[in-house]
């Protein structure tokens, strides 16, 4: 994408629905599973809510106008406007935030969320990131 293009915005309504879906997954499965399990469950939850989403989306890195190939894979992209990076860790590390910021820049998205499912209550594992 063009680094000068405007950032893609998502609605607060979409964010609320996505966080509800993630909370439903966490409530059902609880902490302690692999990230991939939460990712697949979240995709089912989003589908049942009628929210379009893609998982393991390749992100191409462009440098000086040249594609360097696929550099990364976004865990979940919702409605082509919201990035979700899923974790199942004891605590977020600074690198997790840095990764989401870089993904947002490459995708030209304004918002993303780090979601850590390895917590007693999901609200303790939600980190909103905006650029």
Q: How confident is the model at residue 70 (pLDDT cuts 50, 70, 90)?
A: confident
Find the domain containing 98 and state its range. 12-130
Is residue 101 a part of any domain in this protein?
yes
Instruction: Return all residues near 83 (Cβ < 8 A) that are at least 6 apart.
Output: 74, 76, 77, 100, 103, 104, 107, 109, 111, 112, 113
| pLDDT at residue number 61 | 87
Domain annotation covers residue 3? no
| 2 in any annotated domain | no
Nearest to 45 by CA among 127, 115, 129, 111: 115
Give the mean pLDDT of 52-74: 90
Q: Which DSSP category does 6 fall into? A: P
Average pLDDT over residues 70-94: 95
Burial per residue of 52-75, b for 16 or more beta-carbon CB atoms within 10 angstroms, e otherwise? ebebebebeeeeeeeeeeeeeebb
Lowest-confidence segment of 9-13, 26-30, 67-71, 121-125 by average pLDDT: 67-71
Alpha-carbon distance of 124 to 87, in angstroms, equals 13
Assigned domain for 5 exists? no
pLDDT above 90 covers a percentage of the chain that reads 86
Output the pLDDT for position 1.
58
Query: How many domains would you assign to the chain?
Result: 1
**Does residue 80 fall inside a structural domain?**
yes
Whole-number Cα distances in Å, 62 to 10, 30, 76, 78, 120 = 24, 38, 21, 22, 39
What does the mean pLDDT of the chain come to? 95
Residue 3: its pLDDT value, please?
Answer: 67
The 8-class DSSP code of residue 92 comes to: -
**What is residue 63's predicted lDDT score, i.e. its pLDDT?**
87
What's the mean pLDDT in 68-75? Answer: 86
pLDDT at 62: 85
User: What single-letter DSSP state applies at residue 123?
Assistant: G
CATH number for 68 = 3.40.1350
Average pLDDT on 14-25 reads 98
- For residue 6, being part of any structural domain is answered with no
Strand runs (DSSP E) across the chain, as ranges? Answer: 53-63, 66-78, 82-87, 111-116, 126-130
């Amino acid at each position: 994408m063009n680094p000068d293009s405007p950032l893609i915005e998502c609605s607060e309504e979409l964010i609320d629905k996505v966080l509800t879906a993630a909370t439903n997954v966490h409530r059902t499965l609880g902490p302690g599973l692999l990230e991939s399990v939460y990712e697949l469950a979240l995709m089912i939850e989003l589908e049942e809510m009628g929210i379009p989403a893609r998982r393991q989306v390749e992100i191409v890195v462009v440098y000086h106008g040249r594609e360097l190939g696929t550099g990364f894979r976004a865990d979940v992209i919702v409605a082509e406007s919201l990035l979700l990076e899923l974790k199942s860790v004891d605590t977020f590390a600074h690198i997790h935030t840095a990764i989401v910021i870089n993904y947002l820049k490459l995708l030209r998205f304004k918002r993303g969320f780090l979601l850590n499912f390895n917590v007693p209550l999901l609200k303790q594992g939600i980190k909103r990131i905006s650029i």
